[in-house]
């Protein structure tokens, strides 16, 4: 079969690969119907460590079940399913303690990382019934595709923040995850949301969804005169603006969905003393992360930081789909319109093009959906 594989660091190629077979009774062979590249694919390709030889990329898709293992009972051949980007190892005794990291770090991020992913004619998925959700063939596929990774990741972060209705929330990064986080927070009744971004299309959507946006490219705010200069460890104009808007107190909660590693420092600067919480969902390519001593009160500021990978499994996929029913997730997706005569190599080439677009992050593009076995 044909597949889009990582043949060396920074190099993708369409290759011939052996068609997968069922390895465990709980597994299945799937044929992707609609896929979307992720910024974490870009990170794996260009910044990641050593991977298995000719690793097939891709972890976000809607797929058709082609062949099931003998212990699979609730899902049948021909069913259409949403595949979770985090597919936990349900055999591990610690899976209910940490689904994304049961047994070993990033164990739940299997597709396109530990095992071949979905950018191929077919792929294998272990623990089928616990890692997918069956969907109706007449569903809005573009919207549901955002529930494979973007919505579960955003929900994981929002849930960890333990938001209260009167909380002030700041969201760094308004790509797909950040925009989903705004929608989820608003659905919970959170009124005071600041969002940090720089691309005009994303900014317009964030405003539309109810956030007050600070454009980091245009912000020129100076640090309030009554504050110690050490309050802003990175000299960020965004930090100055948040501290000005909150009268120097800072926000209750910070959710980091994108940006460089210095965003951690900024989050420490703007979150409240005593009760402030920071949740990071972003993957950083820098080697070091700096925690500013002044803003954490020399280690005694009462501020919490969590570094999270999305939860995984069918339960969070169901939750994401349920939350998304009245959300305009179509706004986040550009459909890669291929001619019906396009063959598998044409479709894999479209995925390659889309990954390069995701790498450059042009304004107007957030996520791209590519049809495979339509």
C-alpha dihedral, 152 to 153 to 156 to 157, nearest 10°: -150
pLDDT in tens, 212-231: 999 999 999 999 999 999 99
Please indicate, yes or no, whether residues 259 and 348 belong to a single structural domain of this protein: no
- Provide the 3-class DSSP secondary structure of residue 350: helix
- CATH code, domain with 207: 3.40.50.720
Please indicate, yes or no, whether residues 296 and 155 belong to a single structural domain of this protein: yes
Please indicate, yes or no, whether residues 330 and 202 belong to a single structural domain of this protein: no
pLDDT of residue 50: 78
Supply 338's token pair. Answer: 């291929």
Query: From CA 152, how far away is CA 131, in angstroms rounded?
Result: 13
Q: Decide which of 283, 307, 331 is a domain's last residue.
A: 307
Given a cut of 90, whether residue 305 has pLDDT beyond it is yes
Query: From CA 204, how far away is CA 363, in angstroms rounded?
Result: 11
Least confident of 97-101, 163-167, 280-284, 304-308: 97-101
Closest CA relative to residue 34, chosen from 127, 130, 171, 147: 147
Please indicate, yes or no, whether residues 298 and 162 belong to a single structural domain of this protein: yes
Please indicate, yes or no, whether residues 79 and 68 belong to a single structural domain of this protein: yes
Tokens 């460089």, residue located: 260
Query: From CA 262, how far away is CA 256, in angstroms rounded?
Result: 11
Q: How confident is residue 116, by pLDDT bands cut at 50, 70 and 90?
A: very high
Please indicate, yes or no, whether residues 195 and 130 belong to a single structural domain of this protein: no
Please indicate, yes or no, whether residues 177 and 63 belong to a single structural domain of this protein: no
Please indicate, yes or no, whether residues 8 and 145 belong to a single structural domain of this protein: yes
Tokens 């989820």, residue located: 184
Mean pLDDT of the 359-364 span: 94
Please indicate, yes or no, whether residues 277 and 189 belong to a single structural domain of this protein: yes
pLDDT in tens, 245-297: 999 999 999 999 999 999 999 999 999 999 999 999 999 989 999 999 999 99
- CATH code, domain with 74: 3.90.180.10
Given a cut of 80, whether residue 374 has pLDDT beyond it is no
- Asked whether the beta carbons of 108 and 59 are under 8 A apart, the reply is no
- Asked whether the beta carbons of 322 and 135 are under 8 A apart, the reply is no
Query: How many CA atoms lie within 13 Å of 113's alpha carbon, on the beta-carbon side?
Result: 22
Please indicate, yes or no, whether residues 175 and 107 belong to a single structural domain of this protein: no
pLDDT of residue 130: 97
Tokens 């640090």, residue located: 223
- Asked whether the beta carbons of 62 and 36 are under 8 A apart, the reply is no
Instruction: Give the chain's mean pLDDT.
Output: 96
Q: What is the pTM of this model?
A: 0.96
Please indicate, yes or no, whether residues 157 and 302 belong to a single structural domain of this protein: yes
Tokens 């940490």, residue located: 98
Q: Is 52 left (phi over 0), alpha (psi -120 to 50) or beta?
A: beta
Please indicate, yes or no, whether residues 141 and 223 belong to a single structural domain of this protein: no
**Phi, psi torsion values for 278, nearest 5 degrees:** -120, 130
Mean pLDDT of the 177-189 span: 98
pLDDT in tens, 140-158: 999 999 999 999 999 999 9
Closest CA relative to residue 268, chosen from 226, 300, 303: 303
- Asked whether the beta carbons of 108 and 126 are under 8 A apart, the reply is no
Query: From CA 198, how far away is CA 215, in angstroms rounded?
Result: 5
- Asked whether the beta carbons of 36 and 370 are under 8 A apart, the reply is yes
Mean pLDDT of the 65-91 span: 96
Convert 123-159 to b/e letters by CB count within 10 Å (16 or more is b).
bbbbbbbbbbbebeeeeebbbbbbbbbbbbbbbbbbe
Which residues span the domain enclosing 355? 2-149+310-371
Tokens 């979150």, residue located: 271
pLDDT of residue 126: 97
Q: Decide which of 286, 307, 328 is a domain's last residue.
A: 307
Q: Decide which of 281, 307, 333 is a domain's last residue.
A: 307
User: Cβ–Cβ contacts within 10 Å for residue 9, how many?
Assistant: 13
Mean pLDDT of the 110-124 span: 96
Q: How many domains does the chain have?
A: 2
């Amino acid at each position: 079969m044909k597949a889009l594989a990582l043949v060396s660091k920074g190099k993708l190629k369409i290759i011939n690969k052996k068609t997968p077979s069922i390895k465990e009774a709980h597994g299945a062979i799937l044929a992707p119907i609609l896929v979307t590249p992720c910024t974490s694919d870009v990170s794996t390709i260009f910044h990641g460590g050593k991977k298995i030889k000719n690793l097939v990329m891709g972890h976000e898709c809607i797929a058709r079940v082609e062949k099931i293992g003998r212990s699979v009972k609730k899902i049948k051949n021909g069913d259409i399913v949403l595949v979770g980007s985090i597919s936990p190892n349900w055999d591990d005794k610690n899976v209910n303690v940490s689904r994304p990291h049961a047994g070993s770090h990033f164990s739940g991020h299997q597709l396109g990382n530990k095992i071949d992913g979905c950018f191929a004619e077919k792929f294998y998925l272990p623990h089928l019934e616990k890692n997918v959700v069956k969907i109706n063939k007449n569903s809005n596929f573009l919207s549901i595709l955002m529930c494979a990774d973007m919505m579960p990741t955003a929900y994981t972060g929002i849930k960890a923040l333990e938001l209260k209705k009167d909380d002030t929330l700041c969201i760094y990064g308004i790509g797909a995850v950040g925009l989903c986080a705004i929608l989820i927070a608003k659905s919970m009744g959170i009124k005071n949301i600041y969002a940090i971004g720089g691309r005009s299309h994303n900014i317009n959507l964030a405003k539309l969804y109810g956030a007050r946006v600070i454009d980091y490219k245009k912000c020129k705010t100076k640090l309030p005169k009554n504050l110690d200069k050490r309050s802003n460890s990175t000299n960020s104009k965004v930090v100055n603006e948040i501290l000005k808007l909150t009268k120097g107190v800072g926000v209750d909660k910070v959710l980091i969905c994108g940006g460089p590693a210095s965003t951690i420092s900024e989050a420490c600067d703007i979150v409240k003393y005593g009760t402030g919480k920071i949740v990071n969902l972003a993957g950083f390519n820098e080697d070091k992360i700096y925690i500013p001593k002044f803003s954490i009160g020399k280690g005694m500021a009462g501020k919490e930081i969590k570094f999270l990978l999305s939860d995984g499994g069918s339960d969070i996929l169901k939750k994401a789909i349920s939350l998304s029913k009245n959300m305009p997730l179509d706004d986040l997706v550009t459909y890669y319109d291929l001619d019906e005569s396009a063959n598998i190599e044409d479709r894999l080439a479209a995925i390659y093009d889309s990954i390069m677009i995701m790498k450059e992050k042009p304004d107007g593009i957030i996520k791209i959906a590519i049809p495979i076995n339509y």
